[in-house]
Amino acid sequence: EPIVRSLLAGGIRFIEFTLTNPLASEKVALLRREIVEFVSEQAAIGLGSVRTLEEAQLALDSGAQFIVS
């Protein structure tokens, strides 16, 4: 979370977590709820390395605002 806040403070507005990290979808869900820039859609958080329909559904369920294959 501190790294995400630093990136946002530095002007980065699109942040991607990849599914190569087994906790990525949980972290996206948490940050999507807790960081005002994501809630207000001033910034976007998404999931990458999405390769299957199941992973795409996981990304949507986590609240990802974009998906990268």
Give the pLDDT confidence of 41-51 residue by residue, as tens digits.
Answer: 999 999 999 99
The pLDDT of residue 1: 87
**Cα of 23 vs its chain's centroid, Å:** 11
4: closest CA among 25, 27, 21, 20? 27
Q: What does the pLDDT average to over 13-41?
A: 97
The pLDDT of residue 20: 96
- In which band, very low, low, confident or very high, does the pLDDT at 11 lie, cut at 50, 70 and 90? very high
Tokens found for residue 65: 């605002």
Per the CB < 8 A criterion, the answer to whether 16 and 28 are in contact is no
pLDDT tens digits for range 17-29: 999 999 999 999 9
